[in-house]
Amino acid sequence: MISNISPTGVLDIGSYQSKFIIFKIENNKIEILSKSILNTSGIKRGVISDLEKLTSSIKEIIGKAEDEAKLQIGNIYVAASPLNNFSTSFCQSKNIGGYEIEHEKDVQFLINSGVSLFSDHNSECSIVHLFNLNLRIDRDNMVDNPVGLIADTLQNDMHIIYSKKNTIKNFQKAISKSYLKSEKFIFSPYTLSLLAYFESPLSDTIMTIDFGHEKTSLGIFSNDSFVFSRSIPIGSWHVTNDISKSLNLNFEIAENLKKNHSSCKVLIGEMIHEYVESENLGFKSYKKISNNILNKIVNSRVEEIVDFINKELVFFKSHKQIFNKILITGEGSKINGFYELLQEKLNIKALTVEKFSSKLKVNMQDEFDACLSVINFVQNPYNKEIPIYLKKKMGFFDKLYSLFN
């Protein structure tokens, strides 16, 4: 645990909104100095569409928080989850030949060879997070520390979260044009899952579902390891777009209907909702819509998202995995009836499905969940994540690390 950090920022860049928190840590206590939230410009579908507009958005949101805190910061952590984030798990092994295992030489060899293998097959991608999950000797025997043990083989299970190299570079360019240095580029579904995991028994299996604006992200911790992450390219924006197109409404009215009058539940009885379609010179034009029609549109899209989640979780279903908790966050999670639909349609067993919450969240809106999870990540680094250090002439590890510093 890191006990002291001078005032630092966390920027959560989203396609719809960006959030920013300035915090410090003194004597193991986190203090939130200021926060700000603004609509994002310059990002579409998780990809930067206008660098100058995004840079301007970043300057504005950080400037607002700096004014509130009455200080300036130079370094920030960036929580951004573009649509082209991916993850993979694999195993590397080495023949020991019945000799004693030397930790520095043998384990590091497996890590380096794993990264090199990944690089050879994914030259256009960069590693965002690298996890050393399990060490095994002679295939089946899991060990905490193999040093000094005699074995025929040594195996290392690794998990990698990665993104397109140019996507990361473009986000970093927007940060640097705002006269800031990014300490680390962070995949927020991972840190959300990590925060939930730290606040639960370590033996639990926990899944976090972030139902965001343009995508839905999953993260799973199990047996003290981060084992799974996915991003599905459908989010709350698609629900609003369906309402807008199906009912021939402008996007603002469709968004209002989604937030305030829709549900994932299709009701038996018919309800008629009346709303102001337009207003001109004091005269209001009213339009009526069936709530059942509205709910059927919402239900159809949200069920599609749950179907995608089920497809991603087929491995866990086949192994009859029971989740202790499924925690829900994100803009789309506020749609009425989402929790019930998820419980009904999700083809895995879960002891509880509940709203994401944290001991860190004191008088904070749900929109800041990702920022708070990054603050926890900074204070409590996950011991199975492998830092990617930058040192001259150290090879591939260093080239990767240079992308984030």
| Chain position carrying tokens 């690089």 | 119
Q: The pTM is what?
A: 0.82
What is the model's pLDDT at position 59?
93
| pLDDT, block means (10 residues), the chain with 405 residues | 83 90 90 93 84 94 94 88 75 87 79 88 90 84 85 89 88 86 84 82 80 89 83 92 90 89 76 56 62 90 94 78 84 90 82 74 74 89 72 43 38
H or E stretch covering 131: strand 125-137
Distance separating alpha carbons of residues 336 and 264, to the nearest angstrom: 6
What is the model's pLDDT at position 401?
39
Phi/psi for 256 (5° steps) reads -65, -40
Question: What class is the 200-357 domain?
Answer: alpha beta
Burial class (CB in 10 A: 0-12, 13-18, 19+), 377: buried
Domain boundaries, the chain: 5-83+166-188+370-379, 85-162+388-402, 200-357
What is the model's pLDDT at position 5?
83
Q: Enter the tokens of residue 245.
A: 């197109």
Alpha carbon distances (Å) from 288 to 275, 276, 294, 298: 7, 9, 11, 17
What is the model's pLDDT at position 74?
85
Quick check: do 5-83+166-188+370-379 and 200-357 share a fold? Answer: yes
Phi/psi for 232 (5° steps) reads -105, 125
Distance separating alpha carbons of residues 97 and 152, to the nearest angstrom: 5
What is the model's pLDDT at position 34?
94
Distance separating alpha carbons of residues 311 and 300, to the nearest angstrom: 17
Distance separating alpha carbons of residues 369 and 313, to the nearest angstrom: 24
CATH number of 85-162+388-402: 3.30.1490.110
Other residues' Cβ atoms within 10 Å of the Cβ of residue 146: 22
What is the model's pLDDT at position 293?
87
What is the model's pLDDT at position 364?
66
Burial class (CB in 10 A: 0-12, 13-18, 19+), 275: middle
CATH number of 5-83+166-188+370-379: 3.30.420.40
Q: For the chain, what is the radius of gyration of the CA atoms? A: 23
